[in-house]
Amino acid sequence: MFRFFKELRNKLLAENRFRKYMLYATGEILLVVIGILIALQVNNWNEDRLKREDEFFVAQDLYVELLESEKYLDQTLELWRRRNAFIQVLSDTLVTENLQLGQRAFDSILIEALTFRNFTPRRRKLDRVLGEENFEFSQSKDLIKEMMNLAGLYDALNVYFSYNLDTWKEVVQPYLITNYSFRNLNTALGIRHERNYPNRGHENLLADPVFDNVINNMQGDVIPFIMLLVRSLDKIGELKLLLESSYPEISSD
């Protein structure tokens, strides 16, 4: 084709048909420009399509992680509410000075009040999206803002979990080591000892105002953690609805 155009140009020049040659040359330039513009437009279409596909897959991955996080936080909330209920039983026992509470019952309640697992929010994909400076969701401008709010709640949860851990290490454990026998707790857990050791009974703890302070300290850390779990679950629910409305195909996959 290029050879044909070259021969046509040469023929027009040879016949001294300069005006027609200029018209032809102008038309040829326009054709080239139009071809370039079409190629650029097709390339832009392809880039936009790939961007939309990439955006959808990012939203889908985030949605799956939110489902996993919702399940994990639900389970965590149930465990911590249970823990707080047993802490409250101890607190009520101390307030009413119920010294009739038996050793086994006291030890079982104390174990439940002390027990908690490690806490690790599911946030890898959330943090990865927020770490991309130029990334945005074209279907919803609110998604990034709400994701940042959820990340802030996760950060707060980590802080308050560390408070609970510090209270155990620095307050509760040292107090129990000094004032109570862990063999009592082991017995409540069904762990038997080959030798019989003299046990320090729980009556002294129930009569000790310091133990009351220890229990109140524990509850002062547990309740804010529970409240943050509830707020995080609410925020996850809001984010899920926002993703479902922005990308309807997500919830059907």
pLDDT confidence tier of residue 132, bands split at 50, 70 and 90:
confident
Please, are residues 164 and 222 in contact by the beta-carbon 8 Å criterion?
A: yes
Check whether 200 has a pLDDT greater than 90: no
Highest mean pLDDT among 46-60, 66-80, 91-105: 66-80
Residue 197 has pLDDT above 60, yes or no: no
Q: Give the per-residue pLDDT at 85.
A: 97
User: From CA 65, how far away is CA 243, in angstroms rounded?
Assistant: 12
Residue that the structure tokens 């302070």 belong to: 213
Distance CA 118, CA 113 (A): 15
Tokens 């857990």 belong to 189
pLDDT band at 47 (very low <50, low <70, confident <90, very high): very low
**Domain spans of the chain?**
52-252
More confident site: 56 or 187: 56
Would you say 157 and 229 are in contact if contact means Cβ atoms under 8 Å apart?
Answer: yes
CB neighbour list of residue 144: distance below 8 Å, 6 or more residues apart: 129, 130, 136, 137
Q: What is the reported pTM?
A: 0.76
The predicted pLDDT at position 23 comes to: 58
DSSP string, 12-50: HHHTT-HHHHHHHHHHHHHHHHHHHHHHHHHHHHHHHHH
Is it the case that residue 8 has pLDDT exceeding 60? no
Name residue 175's amino acid: Y
Q: Which of 83-97, 145-159, 235-249 has the lowest mean pLDDT?
A: 83-97
Confidence band of 103 (pLDDT split at 50, 70, 90): confident
